Chain A
Amino acid sequence: GEDVEQSLFLSVREGDSSVINCTYTDSSSTYLYWYKQEPGAGLQLLTYIFSNMDMKQDQRLTVLLNKKDKHLSLRIADTQTGDSAIYFCAARNQGGKLIFGQGTELSVKP
């Protein structure tokens, strides 16, 4: 079936780069997404990449997609304490449905 997997926790120091990884099983996924969720809040769309691209950069965010290995990563440069949150990876299937991972909790220490 369709599945998206992420590691549960990541801890970094302020100013360092963070890399959050995700794997997915559906090779026909059309779009891959990164969402951010702060405590008690909804999901904020950070960025997304179309499946025929291998990289997308948006200010401090870099998304890398390895379609062969079905691996997606999100790099946050110069990580700040305000980046502390849960980050969700999602894959859009051919039917348009988003399949979410369980989320990676990013903790940024000053």
Chain B
Amino acid sequence: EAEVAQSPRYKITEKSQAVAFWCDPISGHATLYWYRQILGQGPELLVQFQDESVVDDSQLPKDRFSAERLKGVDSTLKIQPAELGDSAMYLCASSPQDRDYEQYFGPGTRLTVT
């Protein structure tokens, strides 16, 4: 069964450092999402891509966060500089073109900023 891949699974970084997360969606899925999940809360959308184009980045803190999906396949989310409040689970999800109402999540990257 195809799955969304994410790496690393865990990341510990010091505040003011740069950190990057990688996501490989299910093969053929045109839509890719990055979510942030703070402990004890539901996921919140940070950015949505359709192929290589950003569809929605209204909740992305653009002063420190950036996301790209250059070839419309895998994607990278970067934080620079990291702050203590960025500690969270970062989840990637993808949707198939013909059923874009279905979102399938990866295992996530747990970020701890010290």
**Chain A interface residues (CB < 8 Å from chain B):** 4, 30-31, 35, 40-45, 48, 88, 90, 92, 95-98, 100-103
Pick from B40, B42, B105: contact of A42, CB below 8 A: B105
Residues of B within 8 A of A44 (CB): 105
**B101 closest partner in A (C-beta):** A31
Q: Does B110 contact A (CB under 8 A)?
A: yes
CB <8 Å contact, B43 and A48: no
Given A30-B101, A92-B101: A41 and B42 within 8 A (CB)? no
CB <8 Å contact, B91 and A98: no
Q: Which of A4, A48, A97 has the largest count of B CB atoms less than 10 A from its CB?
A: A97
Interface of B is mostly: loop
27 contacting pairs across A/B (C-beta < 8 A): A4-B42, A31-B101, A41-B108, A42-B6, A42-B91, A42-B105, A42-B106, A42-B107, A43-B43, A43-B91, A44-B105, A48-B101, A48-B102, A88-B43, A90-B42, A95-B56, A96-B48, A96-B101, A97-B56, A98-B43, A98-B103, A100-B43, A100-B44, A101-B42, A102-B42, A103-B40, A103-B41
User: How far is it, in angstroms, between the C-alpha of A88 and the C-alpha of B93 when the chains are bound?
Assistant: 15
Pick from B41, B102, B103, B108: contact of A102, CB below 8 A: B41
Shortest 5 CB-CB contacts between residues of A and residues of B: A100-B42, A42-B105, A43-B105, A42-B107, A42-B108
User: How far is it, in angstroms, between the C-alpha of A49 and the C-alpha of B80 when the chains are bound?
Assistant: 39
Q: How far, in Å, is B42 (CB) from chain A's closest CB?
A: 3
Q: Does B60 contact A (CB under 8 A)?
A: no
CB <8 Å contact, A88 and B110: no
> Other than the known A41-B108, A44-B105, A98-B43, what 5 A-B pairs have Cβ atoms closer than 8 Å?
A35-B105, A42-B91, A42-B107, A98-B45, A103-B42
CB <8 Å contact, B91 and A102: no
